[in-house]
């Protein structure tokens, strides 16, 4: 085989390898097997509300988070299909879903880690962690160097009234770092506990497992990428 043909073959092999690894790199484009939840619906059910606070200043860091270049909720196709079933089940009772976060680039998690290390930056403490010392956020599990969100099948969400979009009272806001946010907390009212149970029950029924420390956090039981932490930017 002459040098020219060897060069062509090498180029072809490199292209093939890059194609096979497309789901596992830090490409700025959305990885294969992921969908934008706003486009994963039709007129048969009300659209799922979204509020991407990590694209804004209204989050526990107090500024837009790296990797959230636009206000989109992205997740794996498998998770989106299950979330759609949840929405279909809820609408018959006049309620629906609002999603705050799903896929989270690894660079966003790295941003959280850098923020957690700066103990002088407590701009959002009163709103998001008034009763927890920032120095203990990592120790207590509120911040970690890896997040299931980066695997694409974990969602943070709540329930809303469909007729006016108001959130149901869950006893604490989303991303509120405090024991009151634990699903098992007895610091909430009977009504707030019932609202949490409605969300938990419908998510469990449709294949999600809850997190003991956050009433809003659920991961698809049979997530397709159990060992892969993606880092493509949300555009």
Token digits for 25?
């790199």
191-224: per-residue pLDDT in tens?
A: 999 999 999 999 999 999 999 999 999 999 999 9
Give residue 29's pLDDT band: very low, low, confident or very high (50, 70, 90): low
Q: Is 128 exposed, middle or buried (0-12, 13-18, 19+ CB in 10 A)?
A: buried
CA–CA gap between residue 194 and residue 183 (Å, rounded) = 11
87-115: per-residue pLDDT in tens?
A: 999 999 999 999 999 999 999 999 999 99
To the nearest whole number, what is the mean pLDDT of the chain?
Answer: 89
33-80: per-residue pLDDT in tens?
A: 999 998 876 666 889 999 999 999 999 999 999 999 999 999 999 999
Domain 33-220 in this protein, CATH class = alpha beta
123-171: per-residue pLDDT in tens?
A: 999 999 999 999 999 888 899 999 999 999 999 999 999 999 999 999 9
Q: Is 59 exposed, middle or buried (0-12, 13-18, 19+ CB in 10 A)?
A: buried
For 89, phi then psi, to 5°, come to -75, -35
Please give the positions annotated as active site: 214
Residue 13: in which H helix or E strand, if any? helix 3-20
């Amino acid at each position: 085989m002459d040098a020219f043909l060897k060069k062509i073959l090498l180029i072809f092999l490199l292209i093939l390898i890059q194609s096979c690894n497309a789901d596992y790199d830090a490409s700025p484009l959305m990885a294969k097997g992921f969908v934008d939840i706003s486009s994963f619906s039709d007129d048969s059910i009300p659209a799922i509300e979204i509020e991407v606070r990590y694209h804004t200043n209204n989050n526990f860091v107090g500024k837009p988070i790296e990797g959230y270049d636009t206000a989109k909720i992205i997740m794996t196709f498998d998770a989106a299909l299950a979330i759609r079933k949840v929405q279909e089940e809820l609408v018959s009772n006049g309620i629906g879903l609002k999603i705050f976060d799903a896929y989270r680039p690894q660079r966003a998690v790295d941003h959280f880690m850098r923020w957690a290390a700066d103990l002088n930056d407590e701009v959002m403490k009163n709103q998001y962690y008034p009763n927890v010392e920032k120095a203990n956020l990592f120790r207590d599990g509120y911040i970690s160097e890896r997040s299931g969100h980066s695997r694409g099948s974990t969602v943070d969400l709540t329930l809303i009234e469909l007729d006016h979009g108001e959130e149901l009272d869950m006893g604490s806001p989303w991303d509120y770092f405090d024991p009151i946010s634990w699903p098992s907390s007895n610091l909430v009212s009977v009504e707030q506990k019932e609202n949490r149970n409605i969300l938990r029950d419908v998510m469990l029924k449709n294949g999600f497992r809850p997190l003991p420390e956050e009433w809003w956090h659920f991961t698809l039981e049979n997530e397709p990428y159990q060992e892969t932490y993606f880092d493509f930017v949300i555009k």
